[in-house]
């Protein structure tokens, strides 16, 4: 791994918090992600399952975490099962955790090899009543590939059909909603790396540059700062492409007079940043571009004022919609007749602002916490309003990542220039 690991104390605390959500005499199992194949003998880069990482800090394939807090043998109340290495693996794949290293990383005292899993698990299951299994229950997830967790669920139900099965996901969603100080520090690092990339790119952009060249500039800066790279597929969209919300081709030339929308974020230690900034390709906004830009910036600031403990995402989005409606009226993009005749389920402002303003962010870019729960200190959200005018080949979105505190917000991207004048000065310095 490139990043500096977080302290094992964090994972010890996370497991203790998870255990409080279990029914008496329960066992819980978490599996790592698969290494996904491509073609022939090719594979994708490994990305750890965020739940086992949250509970253990173990960032390695073929790992299993078992938690059974009520088991009579204290040494087996937490067990990590790892892939046993050998000389051949070491030569071809590199170093894997030793048992001692896994304990140091996770705080789990009992570490076994995977070859011991079935017999040990059978002993534990003979005493357990409830079995907590993990599934991906994100409300926007589209899962077509069977995961290790899904395969284990089938295997477990087949071999132990009479146990009482429970869901780990609701507990994990609740826990992961509130970020610890250590997690916020990791996210701040991801945001700081993103800032370095943005400042590099702002000096690079000019008419004639290709979008993929800009993507490469970000990648260079991210990798040299201990990031694995992008937290998600980057959007580098100039001109009309900025009106395509999930544009990822990044293959067009940036032309004089266009605005470039960049939705990018670095990953650090499996935690993510999510930033959007817009640059005038030639270094100076037109009056119309600046007018739209400043309208989006005002909505963003108004939205940030609403991110407070006790608010909830659906109501918050309605209020942000009112801010956007007012701005679009002022810009002449909609009129009072449009509002009077609007469909309440799809207000008039959505013609130009059709997505949500905020989402949870953390180990997942679109993090797992429930959008219907009240906002609380320690939650981290994006704030990302936008205006997209297809007929003008202009899309503007501005986005920062912020932490809700007891008395306001901690803006993790406060140091990244966002004022139109700041952007122009940075590009022309």
The enclosing domain of 320 has a CATH number of 3.90.230.10
Catalytic residue from among 41, 87, 158, 345:
41
In a domain, 282, yes or no: yes
In order of 195, 245, 303, 323, 335, the CA distances from 329 in angstroms are 33, 22, 18, 10, 6
Note whether 192 and 165 are same-domain residues: no
Of the three residues 137, 161, 177, the one that is the final residue of a domain is 177
Verify whether residue 138 is a known catalytic residue: no
Q: Rounded mean pLDDT of the chain?
A: 96
How many C-alpha atoms does 259 have within 13 Å on its Cβ side?
29
- Reference 214, options 277, 145, 257, 268; nearest CA is 277
pLDDT at residue number 90: 79
Percent of the chain past pLDDT 90, that is, above it, reads 93
As given in the structure block, the two tokens for residue 274 are: 């999510």
Q: Where are the beta strands (DSSP E) in 184-245?
A: 229-230, 235-238
Catalytic residue from among 87, 158, 246, 287:
246
In a domain, 3, yes or no: no
pLDDT at residue number 230: 98
| pLDDT surpassing 90 at residue 367 | yes
| pLDDT surpassing 90 at residue 88 | no
Cα 244 from chain centroid (whole Å): 21
Verify whether residue 132 is a known catalytic residue: no
Going by their DSSP bridges, the two strands 64-67 and 26-31 should be labelled as: antiparallel
Q: What is the mean pLDDT of residues 240-259?
A: 98
Verify whether residue 421 is a known catalytic residue: no
Note whether 397 and 423 are same-domain residues: yes
CA separation for the pair 185, 208 (Å, rounded) = 38
In the sheet that holds 266-268, the strands lie side by side as 229-230, 266-268, 271-272
pTM exceeding 0.75 = yes
Note whether 151 and 191 are same-domain residues: no
Verify whether residue 397 is a known catalytic residue: yes
Verify whether residue 70 is a known catalytic residue: no
Contact call for residues 137 and 366 (beta carbons, < 8 A) = no
- Residue 368 has φ and ψ, to the nearest 5°, of -80, -15
CATH of the domain at 169: 3.40.350.10
Q: Which residues contact 108 (CB under 8 A, 6 or more apart)?
A: 56, 65, 78, 79, 80, 102
Q: What is the mean pLDDT of residues 359-382?
A: 96
Verify whether residue 360 is a known catalytic residue: no
Of the three residues 159, 177, 195, the one that is the final residue of a domain is 177
In a domain, 1, yes or no: no
pLDDT in tens, 137-155: 888 888 888 999 999 999 9
pLDDT in tens, 191-207: 999 999 999 999 999 99
Verify whether residue 127 is a known catalytic residue: no
In a domain, 216, yes or no: yes
Note whether 173 and 212 are same-domain residues: no
pLDDT at residue number 139: 82
Instruction: Identify the domain containing residue 424 by its residue range.
Output: 181-428
pLDDT in tens, 12-30: 999 999 999 999 999 999 9
Count the domains in the chain: 2
Q: Which residues contact 290 (CB under 8 A, 6 or more apart)?
A: 420
Catalytic residue from among 34, 78, 325, 384:
384
In a domain, 199, yes or no: yes
Note whether 16 and 104 are same-domain residues: yes
Note whether 247 and 389 are same-domain residues: yes
Note whether 135 and 247 are same-domain residues: no
pLDDT at residue number 95: 86
pLDDT at residue number 212: 98
Note whether 275 and 376 are same-domain residues: yes
Note whether 85 and 224 are same-domain residues: no
CA separation for the pair 348, 339 (Å, rounded) = 6
Please give the angle made by the CA atoms of 167, 172 and 173, to the nearest 5 degrees. Answer: 105
CA separation for the pair 313, 371 (Å, rounded) = 6
| pLDDT surpassing 90 at residue 170 | yes
| pLDDT surpassing 90 at residue 89 | no
pLDDT at residue number 91: 80
Verify whether residue 366 is a known catalytic residue: yes
CA separation for the pair 344, 146 (Å, rounded) = 39
Residue 181: count of CB within 10 angstroms of its CB: 9
Contact call for residues 54 and 17 (beta carbons, < 8 A) = no
Note whether 148 and 260 are same-domain residues: no
pLDDT: is 118 or 140 the higher one?
118
Q: Which residues contact 256 (CB under 8 A, 6 or more apart)?
A: 207, 281, 282
In a domain, 300, yes or no: yes
CA separation for the pair 416, 420 (Å, rounded) = 12
In a domain, 2, yes or no: no
Of the three residues 140, 155, 177, the one that is the final residue of a domain is 177
Catalytic residue from among 263, 327, 401, 424:
263
In a domain, 413, yes or no: yes
Note whether 142 and 225 are same-domain residues: no
Note whether 185 and 327 are same-domain residues: yes
């Amino acid at each position: 791994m490139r990043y500096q690991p977080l302290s094992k104390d964090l994972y010890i605390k996370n497991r203790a918090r998870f255990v409080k959500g279990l029914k008496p005499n329960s066992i819980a199992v978490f599996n790592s992600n698969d290494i996904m194949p491509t073609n022939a003998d090719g594979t994708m880069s490994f990305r750890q399952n965020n739940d086992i990482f949250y509970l253990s800090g173990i960032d390695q394939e073929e790992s299993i975490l078992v938690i059974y807090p009520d088991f009579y043998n204290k040494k087996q109340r937490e067990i990590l099962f790892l892939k046993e290495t050998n000389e051949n693996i070491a030569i071809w794949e590199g170093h894997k955790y030793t048992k001692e290293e896994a304990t140091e990383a996770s705080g789990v005292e009992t570490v076994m090899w995977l070859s011991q899993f079935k017999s040990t698990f059978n002993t534990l299951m003979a005493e357990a009543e409830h079995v907590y299994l993990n599934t991906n229950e994100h409300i926007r997830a589209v899962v077509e590939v069977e995961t290790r967790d899904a395969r284990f669920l089938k295997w477990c139900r087949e071999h132990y059909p009479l146990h009482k099965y429970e869901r780990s996901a609701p507990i994990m969603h609740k826990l992961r909603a509130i970020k610890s100080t250590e997690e916020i520090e990791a996210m701040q690092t991801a945001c700081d790396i993103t800032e370095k990339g943005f400042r590099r790119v702002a000096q690079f952009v000019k008419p004639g540059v290709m979008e993929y060249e800009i993507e490469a500039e970000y990648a260079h800066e991210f990798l040299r700062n201990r990031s694995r790279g992008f937290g998600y597929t980057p959007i580098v969209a100039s001109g009309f492409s900025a009106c395509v919300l999930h544009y990822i081709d990044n293959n067009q030339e940036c032309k004089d007079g266009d605005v470039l929308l960049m939705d990018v974020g670095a990953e650090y230690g499996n935690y993510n940043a999510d930033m959007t900034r817009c640059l005038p390709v030639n270094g100076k906004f037109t009056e119309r571009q600046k007018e739209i830009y400043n309208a989006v910036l005002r909505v963003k600031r108004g939205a940030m004022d609403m991110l407070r403990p006790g608010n909830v995402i659906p109501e918050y989005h309605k209020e942000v919609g009112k801010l956007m409606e007012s701005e679009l009226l002022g810009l002449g993009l909609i009129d009072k007749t449009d509002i009077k005749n609007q469909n309440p389920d799809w207000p008039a402002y959505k013609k130009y602002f059709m997505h949500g303003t905020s989402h949870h962010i953390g180990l997942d870019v679109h993090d797992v916490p429930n959008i219907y729960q009240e906002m609380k200190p320690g939650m981290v959200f994006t704030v990302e309003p936008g205006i997209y005018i297809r007929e003008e080949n202009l899309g503007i979105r501005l986005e920062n990542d912020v932490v809700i505190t007891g008395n306001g917000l901690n803006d993790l991207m406060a140091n990244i220039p966002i004022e139109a004048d700041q952007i122009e000065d940075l590009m022309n310095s």
